[in-house]
Structure 1
Amino acid sequence: MSNRLNSKWRSALKNSTQDWLTEVWMIFSSLMKIMIPALLVVRCIELLGWVEALGTMIQPLMLLVGLPGETGLVWMAAMMGNIYTAMVVFYQLGLAEQLSIAQVSVISSMMLIAHSLPVEVAIARAIGISLWFTLFLRIGGAFLFGFITYQAHSNLALLQLPAPQLWQPETADTSWVAWLLTQGQTIAVAFVVIAALTLFLRILRVLGVERLIHFLLAPVLRLLGIAKVASNIIIVGLTLGLSFGGGLLISEARRGHIAGRDIFLSMAFLGLCHSLIEDTLLMMLLGADFSTIVFARLLFSLLAILALSRLLDWLPTNKRGWFYRQSAP
């Protein structure tokens, strides 16, 4: 009897492991189909010098949010590349010695909302969100929040002391070898993160914790007009961000159990507020104010999605295709 039970247990464990590994590979391969082409496009843009050209073009906009024109290059580096690249540019331009805490908080907030756009917009598009809406939301939302934050800091005379210097980057290696090594490390980390997260979610599901998380998030999601079945998408995006969590977000969307409207609102919210742990810590190294880049940004995101949800309620169903696919892909 004992041998039979052990045999059944081993068989069940083997099947569960095979299912898990299959799920990991499917999610990882889906993400790589999006991530690798996007990374190559970004590399070409960098080599052609378009980041610098675009950064110069948006310099007048930076003046509207109380920042020196040179910060346009920092923001463009974040949008076309990633936050790490933007941090290096920030120090290369000598901005660490020039800006106040308020100004660093403004540029940090704008980078947190709009960064890694080639990869993250491609992920949103794969999930079914309009390309142009995603760009408008991320870039427009970043600029609007930056402007609001600048006005609040200026009018209330907040955070006007010089920003502390908590980090100094090493000299960046721009060779192809260094780039390939960096991207290889990113891809390897993405695989490990996906494997760990899917296993963690399976354990939570078995223990019943997943239902508890859904219950706790339900009031906020109900306020935003999002069904609680979208809780996993929100949790993954808030903790891991869109790049590392992209594969799992695509998988959740494609399972077909979440309505297109809920996927759209969830991804719109995450477009404005995601990766609260890693990205927040990076911006604090630049000297940004924690309350501004976390609490104020979170409030801004909630209000923006609340307004967007009401807009969808008002919009005729046949017009919602402007924003997203009506059902999960």
Structure 2
Amino acid sequence: MVNLFNAVKKGCKKAFVTYVDLIKVIVPVYILITFLKNVGIIEYLAGFFSPMMQLFGLPGEAVVVLMTGYFLNLYAAIGAISSLQLGVREITILGTMLGLAHSLIIEGAVMKKMKVNVLNLVILRVVSSLIVGVILNLIL
């Protein structure tokens, strides 16, 4: 019984630390995206990228989520998604695209240490992500 209690206690501690680490990423990104939306920068980016994002059936502002996920990580993308008014369809498309290509900088560094051709894998992941986005737009 003592071992079970210690295991639960240890698990709860690790879960709390993980929760705090995620909050440290998600909340600042959420605040930043909300700020950028309120000062009009998101609207400007949305207008500029809207034609490209229509290929994926996404509003122009979704480019912020896509770039955040591509260059930072999925948790930052979650913060960005939560600050925008996107529907289930759009979130599904973005989530799938980001599942294929995310954290490209960090994972690129890891791939480089593993002596893998980083450029080819990054191109493959991004192109795959974009193709899947187009396909999902057509079928959803």
| Mapped contact 1:238–1:275 kept (Cα < 8 A) | yes
Q: Please list every run of 5 or more consecutive structure 1 residues that lacks an aligned counterpart in the other structure.
A: 1-175, 313-329
| Mapped contact 1:269–1:302 kept (Cα < 8 A) | yes
| Mapped contact 1:265–1:305 kept (Cα < 8 A) | yes
TM-score, normalization: structure 2?
0.70
What's 2:3 paired with?
Answer: none
What's 1:248 paired with?
Answer: 79
- Asked whether 1:212 is paired with 2:44, we answer yes
Q: Please list every run of 5 or more consecutive structure 2 residues that lacks an aligned counterpart in the other structure.
A: 1-7
Distance 1:188 1:260 in 2: 27
Find the partner of 2:66 among 230, 234, 250.
Answer: 234
- Summarize the Cα distance change of 1:250–1:305 in structure 2 as closer, same or farther, 3 Å threshold: closer
> How big is each residue's C-alpha offset from its partner over 1:151-171, in whole Å with a ceiling of 9 and x where there is no partner?
xxxxxxxxxxxxxxxxxxxxx
Point out the structure with max Rg over C-alpha.
1
TM-score, normalization: structure 1?
0.34
Instruction: Give the count of matched residue pairs.
Output: 134
What's 2:18 paired with?
Answer: 186
Compute the RMSD of aligned alpha carbons.
Answer: 3.2
What's 1:305 paired with?
Answer: 133
| Mapped contact 2:66–2:77 kept (Cα < 8 A) | no
Deviation at 1:258, TM superposition (A): 2.3
| Mapped contact 2:101–2:125 kept (Cα < 8 A) | yes
| Mapped contact 2:50–2:61 kept (Cα < 8 A) | no
Find the partner of 2:104 among 263, 268, 276.
Answer: 276
Deviation at 1:246, TM superposition (A): 6.6
Deviation at 1:188, TM superposition (A): 2.6
Taking every aligned residue pair, what percent have the same amino acid on both sides?
A: 23
What's 1:196 paired with?
Answer: 28
Deviation at 1:179, TM superposition (A): 7.7
What's 1:265 paired with?
Answer: 93
| Mapped contact 2:27–2:79 kept (Cα < 8 A) | no
Distance 1:250 1:206 in 2: 15
| Mapped contact 1:239–1:274 kept (Cα < 8 A) | yes
- Summarize the Cα distance change of 1:285–1:214 in structure 2 as closer, same or farther, 3 Å threshold: farther
Distance 2:98 2:134 in 1: 13
| Mapped contact 2:42–2:61 kept (Cα < 8 A) | no
Distance 2:32 2:81 in 1: 18
> How big is each residue's C-alpha offset from its partner over 1:227-257, in whole Å with a ceiling of 9 and x where there is no partner?
2243343244323433x237526735xx7x3
Distance 2:23 2:34 in 1: 17
Distance 2:77 2:11 in 1: 21
Deviation at 1:298, TM superposition (A): 0.7
Q: Secondary structure at the match of 2:103?
A: coil
- Summarize the Cα distance change of 1:192–1:227 in structure 2 as closer, same or farther, 3 Å threshold: same
